[in-house]
Amino acid sequence: MPGGLAAPVALPPVTSTLIWIVVALVVIGLYLSWTAGRLDRLHARIDAARAALDAQLLRRASVAQELATSGVLDPAASIVLYEAAHAARQAEEEQREVAESELSQALRAIFGEPEQVEAVREAPGGEEAARELAQAVRRVPMARRFHNDSVRAARALRRHRKVRWFRLAGHAPFPMAFEMDDEPPAALADRAAA
């Protein structure tokens, strides 16, 4: 060859095909790895959201229990609120949604009228107790919504065929939403917004 340049060597068709197969397998492997990482991050987000929800539910039950034992409420309301808050704090995981819903219903029954909230606020230490309870009942729906949004995103990804076929979720349990009645009492919701 003039100038010392060698002519380009054409690869045999088998070698070219093998290279494309290897490239395709590498791309598929990278994609599956990225999907598994995304799923792992979603599961971590669910765990963090569940911990935040548990903390808010515990805070709401604790504040309700403190208010029930403070002597600010009438005896009947104190008993109803204390029992509902105690049941929510002690509930097993299978009964937790029901117990938390019953606490929400008790809070609505006791603090459904602005007059009851005003009576609590006028008692010694009642202003602080009413403010803490208003904040607690406002934060529970937000924490539950964040948790359930994370669960919804993970479920959508886990329904994809590639995730099921390649078992990208591993042994992680299927994420479950936390369903409860979390509607705050109108008088406390107004107080929290103020």
In 111-173, alpha helices (H): 114-122, 126-158, 161-165
146 domain-assigned: yes
Q: Which domain holds residue 33?
A: 17-193
Determine the 3-state secondary structure of 55 from DSSP: helix
11 domain-assigned: no
Tokens 């765990």 belong to 47
22 domain-assigned: yes
Contacts of 144 (CB under 8 A, 6+ apart): 53, 178, 180, 182
Tell me if the pTM is above 0.75: yes
85 domain-assigned: yes
And the tokens for 31?
């994609």
Tokens 């034992």 belong to 69
Question: CB of 178 within 8 A of CB of 152?
Answer: no
4 domain-assigned: no
**The length of the chain, given as a count of residues:** 194
What domain count does the chain have?
A: 1
7 domain-assigned: no
107 domain-assigned: yes
Output the tens digit of pLDDT for each of the chain's 194 residues: 455 666 666 667 778 889 999 999 999 999 999 999 999 999 999 999 999 999 999 999 999 999 999 888 889 999 999 999 999 999 999 999 999 999 999 999 999 888 889 988 998 888 898 999 999 999 999 999 999 999 999 999 999 999 999 999 988 899 999 999 999 998 887 655 55
Contacts of 51 (CB under 8 A, 6+ apart): none
9 domain-assigned: no
